[in-house]
Structure formats: structure tokens, C-alpha cells
Chain A
Amino acid sequence: MSASSASSRKTLSKIACNRLQKELAEWQVNPPAGFKHKVTDNLQRWVIEVIGAPGTLYADETYNLQVDFPEHYPMEAPQVIFVPPAPLHPHIYSNGHICLDILYDSWSPAMTVSSICISILSMLSSSTVKQRPEDNDRYVKNCRNGRSPKETRWWFHDDKV
């Protein structure tokens, strides 16, 4: 939790609001398989339940994603983290930060919460080992002051998992 609450965020712009309302409406009609949006009255922070896909290492395990939207969403990427306990995965740190390029450098405003969710589930599903990233301890220690994953300079070295 520490990571997200620290950065005092500005309220959503009108454009961001409109877009999120649209996304929410679409989600309610057609949610991505394996995800459940936990309804709150906070449009700026979504908490989404993820259920590991059947036949994968994470089958039947349930995790929570926390999605925080910046003022200028969708120009800026949302901040997406797992609420600890985060799944054991080579690209997911124990503080919930996710090393996934589309959340940072490769973000495009044409992506949606729904498409992010699908990417994260596919990342989980393709994992062959349940383990933390090699640099987990160092990274988590670095983030202790509540740094957002969006401030991290990520290296996206491995596109297999």
C-alpha cells in the first residue's frame, strides 16, 4: 500500500473522468474473463480481483490489483500494483510492483484497464516458476519510502514470461 498512497495525486481531469466512466460502463457489460471490479465510489482508484487462470501455476489463487489513475489519464499510464500479498512471479516484486513494459515506457493511450488486466493475466499464465525477481530485496528496500513503480527506471529484459 505504501507505494501508492505516498504520491499525492491530483484529481482527474474532465477528459480522464469521461474516459473512465466509459471504461467502467464497458467493463460492466463486458468484463475481462477472470477479473472482478470491486465497486467503490472512487473512480480514481479501482481495486480489481484477479483469479489465476485454470491450468496455470496460479489456478484458483485470488489476488487484488490496485489501479490508480493520474490526472491526465489516458495520456499518462495508470499506476498498477498488486495489493500485497502479490503473486510469486519472476516479474512481480513482493511489494506488489509489476515489471511490465506497457505500464511504463510502452503505455499507449489506446490501452484500457481491461487490456492491462488481460496482459497481466497472460503474464501470470505464461510463468513456469513461482519465484520472486532476483533483485527483489534490493528493489523493495529502495521503495521503502513509498516510491511509485512509475518512478522506477525499468529494464524490460525478458519477454518470455
Chain B
Amino acid sequence: MAEEEEIVGEVEALQAVYGDDCLLLQTYPPSFHLHIKPRTADDSSQQFVEAIIGIQAGSKYPDEPPAIRIIDSKGLDEQRQKQLISCISERASELSSCLMLVALCEEAVERLSSMNHPDGECPLCLYPLVAEDSGSSEPFMKLMSCFHCFHCECIIRWWNWLELLKESDAPTASGSASSSGSIRDQDEESRRKCPVCRKSFLAKDIEHVLDFVKTQHAVTSSRSEVNNEDKILSSVSEKLRRAKFDAILKLQQEKGGLIEIKKHEVLRPGIYLPQPAALPSTASTEEAKEQQDKDLAANSRTNSSGSTNKPNTSRARNSSTKKHQGHNSRKQVAQSSRKQVTQWVKKENSNAT
């Protein structure tokens, strides 16, 4: 009898520790569901798995370990589910004849934390979410309702595709459909379903990624333009063209027919050409002329290559700090997006309550 009291005490302790995460089904013999999350200091953006496990003790508890099973889980493939259960069960048999419920729950959280990484490949492109040599992997996102993860680019490509379909369907729908209202709503709803499990998700999940991709895109597009530029600049025809241009420039300068662009000329509101450090104000001495020649040659080079470059400089500059975050380390990306994510979560919660 004393033992039953002890067990009831243990259950009370359990409820004190886990609060709302513990759903008590029966006090004696104890049976409960426990909602476990990996230890991420309540940062939901770092959370890729979660589970509800059922622990059910028999009348011979604690001499006989309780039965443990998974009630529900997110982000865990079958293999990891099995592994989780077998780890907890193993711990249970180790602790046989001791009161072990809290210890088991701790073990569960511990194990789950060690499994807290996104699963395998992006379901849309089938390439790994996290590359083995983690440096080169693409940013990815997670749907909060099911924890399915996708590369940001992939999910946005899919989303834009659906937008496109919606637009192209719109005229025919209004022409032919009589009950278009309900159909439209249905469309809207079916659009917002996870491609993997078809569970509905919140529009915010996508909006957040759209914002992220926009800033990313500015970076990558300016990057790829630079790459293209390099290619163009190193091509033979471009070299010839430049040589010819330089010759004409020199000739013009010698004949005094060159109208010099003012160095501080405004290209766009707020953007100035950087002023060369040693800019001669007068071209009287031979030395200064030489210097000017060099400047002009340099200038002409930047001008010839700059036509595609310049309009982008502001964007590139704005996002250059983001670029570092985006490409050097994944963690920083997650951190920069952390605030927003936690914000929604809070909103979600406040909506729910």
C-alpha cells in the first residue's frame, strides 16, 4: 500500500515537472501522454521534431517497466520513431524496480534532442536539405503545422507555380463556373496544403519565406551578375573592344575633345561614385596628366563594365550583411529569422487561447 502512495506521489511530481505537456489518463497504475520537444530553449525555429509518447504502467510497476509507445510525432521518420521508443524502453528496463517515470521522461527529451535535425532530402528537388559538408547547402524552411522541411527556393518555386495556375485559371473560371465562390475557396484551401502530407498550413509560413527569399535573391542575383560579368570581361571580343575604346579615348583626350564626367556626379539619389584618392584638380603638369590618364582608363573600364553593375549596387550593398549570414553559416540565418518565427508562434498561441 505504501508503494501505491509512493507511485501516486511520483505522478504528482511528474505533473509538477511537465505541467500542460503531461496529459494524465490514470493515476494508478499510472498512464499518461507526454508531449516532448527537443531542448532548444523554446526556440521553435530550431525545432525540427516533436512527439507525443504514451507511457502506461501495469499493476506490477515498478517491478515491471511500463509500456511505451508513440502516439503522434512530427518530423520523425519511422526509423527514428523506433529508435526513440527502444531507447526509452531500454532505460526503463535498466531502472527496473525503481520509480522511473520522471527519469524516463527525461530520457525521452534527451533522445529527442539528439534527433533534432531535419530529415533527409527536400521532397521537391530530392537533394539533401543539409549538405554533408554543411558549408554549401541551401537555406531551407519548415512548415510549422507538420514540420516538413523544404529548401526555401523549392517551396517558393512551387508556391509561385500555384499562383501562376490561379491566374491563368481565373478567366475561364469566371466564364464557366456557376458556383465559383465555393470552388474558389476550396482552391484557396487546397493550395495551402503541405505537398507531402496535405496538412493545411498557415499563410504566414510562406510569407516569411517569401520575404527571406526576396532578400536572398537580391544577393544571389547580384552575385550571378558579377559572375556573368567576369565571363564577359575576360572574353576576347571584350578585350578587343576595350583596347579600341581606350585608343579612341586617348586620342580624344589628346585633341582636347573629351568631356570629363564629374567624379561626384549623382547616378541615383543617394549613390555617389567613389572619389579616387589622388584626383588631380588641374592638368597642368606632365605628372598630373599621366595620373589623369590612368584614372580615365580605370574609369572607362568601370564604365564599360558598370552598365549592368551600377543599378544593383544599392541592393547589393543593402543585403551584403545578409549575404554573410546566408552563406557562411546556417545558424546565423536561423538566428536572424528567429525573432519573426517566435512572433508568429506567440500569435498562434494567443489565437488559440
Contact for A75 among B127, B161, B198, CB less than 8 A = B161
User: Quick one: which of A19, A22, A23, A110 has the most chain B CB within 10 A?
Assistant: A110
- Chain A CB within 8 A of B277 CB: no
A75→B126 contact, CB < 8 A: no
Which residues of B have CB within 8 Å of A110?
Answer: 123-124, 195-196
Binary CB contact string for chain A from 1 to 37 against chain B (1 if under 8 A, 0 otherwise): 0000000000000010011001100100000000000
Which residues of B have CB within 8 Å of A74?
Answer: 124
- Chain B CB within 8 A of A72 CB: yes
A108→B195 contact, CB < 8 A: yes
Which residues of A have CB within 8 Å of B196?
Answer: 108, 110
Q: How far is the CA of A19 from the CA of B157 in the complex (A)?
A: 14
B161→A72 contact, CB < 8 A: yes
Number of interface residues of A (CB under 8 A): 13
Q: Report B328 CB to chain A, min CB distance, Å.
A: 25
Which residues of B have CB within 8 Å of A112?
Answer: 126
Q: Which partner residue on chain A sits nearest B165 by CB separation?
A: A75
B157→A15 contact, CB < 8 A: yes
User: Quick one: which of A23, A26, A108 has the most chain B CB within 10 A?
Assistant: A108
- Chain A CB within 8 A of B158 CB: yes
Which residues of A have CB within 8 Å of B232?
Answer: none
Known: A108-B198, A109-B195, A110-B196. A22 touches B127 (CB 8 A): yes
Which residues of A have CB within 8 Å of B158?
Answer: 75, 109
User: Quick one: which of A26, A72, A74, A112 has the most chain B CB within 10 A?
Assistant: A74
Known: A109-B195, A110-B196. A23 touches B157 (CB 8 A): no
- Chain A CB within 8 A of B125 CB: yes
Task: Name the interface residues of B110-146: CB closer than 8 Å to any CB of A.
Answer: 123-127
Which residues of A have CB within 8 Å of B125?
Answer: 15, 18-19, 22
Q: How far is the CA of A108 from the CA of B126 in the complex (A)?
A: 14
B127→A109 contact, CB < 8 A: no
Task: Name the interface residues of B243-288: CB closer than 8 Å to any CB of A.
Answer: none
Number of interface residues of B (CB under 8 A): 11
B126→A26 contact, CB < 8 A: yes
Q: Report B139 CB to chain A, min CB distance, Å.
A: 17
Which residues of A have CB within 8 Å of B198?
Answer: 108
Which residues of A have CB within 8 Å of B195?
Answer: 108-110
Which residues of A have CB within 8 Å of B123?
Answer: 109-110
Q: Report B48 CB to chain A, min CB distance, Å.
A: 17
Q: Which partner residue on chain A sits nearest B123 by CB separation?
A: A110
Q: How far is the CA of A148 from the CA of B105 in the complex (A)?
A: 56
Binary CB contact string for chain B from 184 to 201 against chain A (1 if under 8 A, 0 otherwise): 000000000001101000
Q: How far is the CA of A110 from the CA of B195 in the complex (A)?
A: 6
Q: Report A28 CB to chain B, min CB distance, Å.
A: 14
Q: How far is the CA of A159 from the CA of B127 in the complex (A)?
A: 33
Task: Name the interface residues of B124-183: CB closer than 8 Å to any CB of A.
Answer: 124-127, 157-158, 161
Which residues of B have CB within 8 Å of A18?
Answer: 125, 127
Q: How far is the CA of A109 from the CA of B151 in the complex (A)?
A: 13
Q: How far is the CA of A125 from the CA of B124 in the complex (A)?
A: 28
Which residues of B have CB within 8 Å of A75?
Answer: 157-158, 161
Q: How far is the CA of A72 from the CA of B157 in the complex (A)?
A: 11
Binary CB contact string for chain A from 121 to 145 against chain B (1 if under 8 A, 0 otherwise): 0000000000000000000000000
Q: How far is the CA of A2 from the CA of B124 in the complex (A)?
A: 31
User: Quick one: which of B124, B126, B158, B198 has the most chain A CB within 10 A?
Assistant: B126
Cβ-closest 7 pairs across A and B: A110-B123, A110-B195, A22-B126, A75-B161, A108-B195, A110-B196, A109-B124
15 A-B pairs within 8 Å (CB atoms) are namely A18-B125, A19-B124, A19-B125, A19-B126, A72-B161, A74-B124, A75-B158, A75-B161, A108-B198, A109-B123, A109-B124, A110-B123, A110-B124, A110-B196, A112-B126
